[in-house]
């Protein structure tokens, strides 16, 4: 049950994490 919950969290987190990284890279590019 615990492993399943962690897998669900990872699946839900990934798109947000990808978006956060892209935003960070874009801001770095603009303000560097």
pLDDT in the model for residue 12: 72
Q: What is the DSSP string of 1-32?
A: -HHHHHHHHHHHHHHHHHHHHHHHHHHHHHH-
pTM for this prediction: 0.51
Read off the pLDDT of residues 16-31 as tens digits, 9 standing for 90 and up: 888 999 999 999 999 9
């Amino acid at each position: 049950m615990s492993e399943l919950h962690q897998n669900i969290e990872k699946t839900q987190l990934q798109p947000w994490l990808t978006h956060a990284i892209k935003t960070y890279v874009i801001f770095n590019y603009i303000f560097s």
